[in-house]
Amino acid sequence: MTTHATPTLLWLRQDLRLSDHAALHAAAAEGPVLPVFILDDSDPWAPGGAARWWLHHSLKALGTALAGLGAPLLLLRGEARRVIPDLAAALGARAVHASRLYEPWARQRDADIAAALTARGIALQLHSGATLAEPHRLRTGQGQPYSVYTPFSRAMLALGEPPPPLPAPTALTGTKPPQEGLALEALRLLPRPPVPDWAARFAEYWTPGEATAQARLGEFAARHAATYDRDRDFPGQDLTSRLSPHLHWGEISPRSIWHAVAPAGLTGGRLTYLKEILWREFAYHVLWHSPQLPERPLRAEYEQFPWQPDEALLRAWQQGRTGYPIVDAGMRQLWQHGWMHNRVRMIVGSLLVKHMLQPWQNGAAWFWDTLVDADLAANAMNWQWVSGCGIDASPYFRIFNPILQGEKFDPEGRYVRHFVPELRNVPDGWLHRPWQAPDLVLRGAGVVLGRDYPHPIVDHDAGRARALAALSALKAVE
């Protein structure tokens, strides 16, 4: 490789890593590389607030790593449809390399950019990297997209072991950018005054970047993967991988995860965990074939579902003031950490759309803004799953009981007491149903319901009955 060779533009997006990076390898093989990241807020699904916090710190880590290899990261802001063709032409690049995205708007944008580049004699080359298999690759025996997860996962497993991850480069040949880039702070990804710094505690729980992702993966594979099937449902214990934000931003690849977890055998907890990775693959498969997934129910009859939108109810749910301790703990964990345990995500989602009859799109929008791992395909499919309106979804009549869920999965109250400290002195037997506790018990715990902690926002039995009545009304219309 020589410094006078034709330079190549490496367009980084949700692939903020060096290892197992096919686009990076291809670009480096052609000559000097200019890595660029463009913050494009014209995207219809631009990152929410929590994801922007993560992106800031991930770009900082990646920028340091790339500079150390000899190819500093160029940061720009603007519409990628215009910036990429102009930048590639000014650079004199022969090709632009990027990792493939699967969101419908991203696919259309890439097609537009490819056409603009082709008109200038430049190629856009897209590479796999975010999934184990391309979402359009798998089909049923009838040649149709999969609509049920279990057959899809079997088909994925039948593909066999994915190729081993590519190594990270040890050096790169950079090239001078044709324009001056922005300082990271100029992207304004972090909360800014007069807005309160709602992300102030994120750094206590997260360190974005590839190095942390690799370390977290190694620890999980060695210590917790084998028992994941037994441990994954207990939010009061830190026994899950917590790799979801690293995976979303591409700080680690699904192939790297597979090869770290699978060598000890596809059994027990290891298989259960890898099936979670396959659930993510299924979400991308569904989004590819059903681009309406983030906004409209995939079961058309649910377009007529009799939701009862209520801003006050939605706000109480968002703030963790529903009166159901396991739900409130989850919503407060979300606000403090930018993340929520997966079991609790299902519980809080069920309460919102069933007991409270709030549209699932409102819950999905809140998660989009507050999750550091907000992923369009997974977020939308999971909300449609809990709402019963997606393909292969949990039936609408399956209604989580937040009391029993709390007692089963947080029996000692470790999770609730951490995030709902006003209930810390309530005995285990009453912790998940404090409104049923005798007055003497509540006085001993220093809790006055309605003052220190709210009464349930909706009675469980009444909420369940109302949800089932709404379902019956929907079926009557069909």
206 labelled catalytic: no
33-39 and 74-77 beta bridge pairing: parallel
Q: Are residues 363 and 329 in the same domain?
A: yes
Cβ–Cβ under 8 Å, residues 174 and 32: yes
Task: Evaluate whether residue 295 is within a structural domain.
Answer: no
The CA distance from 56 to 197, in Å, is: 14
CB count within 10 Å of CB 157 equals 14
Q: Are residues 337 and 374 in the same domain?
A: yes
Task: Report which residue type is found at 165.
Answer: P
pLDDT (tens digit per residue) in 15-61: 999 999 999 999 999 999 999 999 999 989 999 999 999 999 999 99
- The C-alpha torsion from 418 through 421 and 426 to 432, rounded to 10°, is -60
pLDDT at 133: 96
Task: Evaluate whether residue 99 is within a structural domain.
Answer: yes
Q: Are residues 306 and 283 in the same domain?
A: no
Q: Is 77 helix (H, G, I), strand (E, B) or coil?
A: strand
Q: Are residues 305 and 278 in the same domain?
A: no
**DSSP state letter for 29:** H
Q: Are residues 147 and 244 in the same domain?
A: yes
279 labelled catalytic: yes
CATH of the domain at 254: 1.25.40.80
Q: Are residues 320 and 382 in the same domain?
A: yes
Q: Is 35 helix (H, G, I), strand (E, B) or coil?
A: strand
Q: Select from 84, 104, 129 the last residue of a domain.
A: 129
Q: Are residues 268 and 322 in the same domain?
A: no
Point out the catalytic residue in the list 342, 401, 407, 435.
342
Point out the catalytic residue in the list 45, 105, 198, 307.
307
Q: Are residues 145 and 260 in the same domain?
A: yes
The CA distance from 97 to 28, in Å, is: 10
Closest CA to 97 of 44, 42, 32: 32
Point out the catalytic residue in the list 30, 45, 134, 276.
276
Point out the catalytic residue in the list 279, 335, 425, 435.
279
CATH of the domain at 468: 1.10.579.10
Q: Which residue ranges in the chain fall short of pLDDT 70?
A: 1-4, 476-478
Maximum separation of any 2 CA atoms in the chain, in Å: 82
Q: What is the number of alpha carbons within 13 Å of residue 277 lying toward its C-beta?
A: 29
360 labelled catalytic: yes
Task: Evaluate whether residue 117 is within a structural domain.
Answer: yes
Q: Are residues 136 and 89 in the same domain?
A: no
Q: Are residues 121 and 140 in the same domain?
A: no
Q: Are residues 279 and 158 in the same domain?
A: yes
11 labelled catalytic: no
Q: Select from 103, 129, 155 the last residue of a domain.
A: 129
45 labelled catalytic: no
Give the range of the structural domain holding residue 74, as residue numbers without chain letter.
Answer: 8-129
Q: Are residues 55 and 98 in the same domain?
A: yes
Point out the catalytic residue in the list 11, 383, 385, 430.
383
Task: Evaluate whether residue 172 is within a structural domain.
Answer: no
Tokens of 433: 């149903």
Rounded to 5, what percent of the chain is helix, strand, coil? Answer: 50, 5, 40
335 labelled catalytic: no
Task: Evaluate whether residue 194 is within a structural domain.
Answer: no
Task: Evaluate whether residue 316 is within a structural domain.
Answer: yes
pLDDT at 112: 98
3-state secondary structure 119-166: CCCCEEEEECCCCCCCCCCCCCCCCCCCCCHHHHHHHHHHCCCCCCCC
Structural domain count, the chain: 3
Point out the catalytic residue in the list 53, 339, 360, 368.
360
Tokens of 274: 């890898």
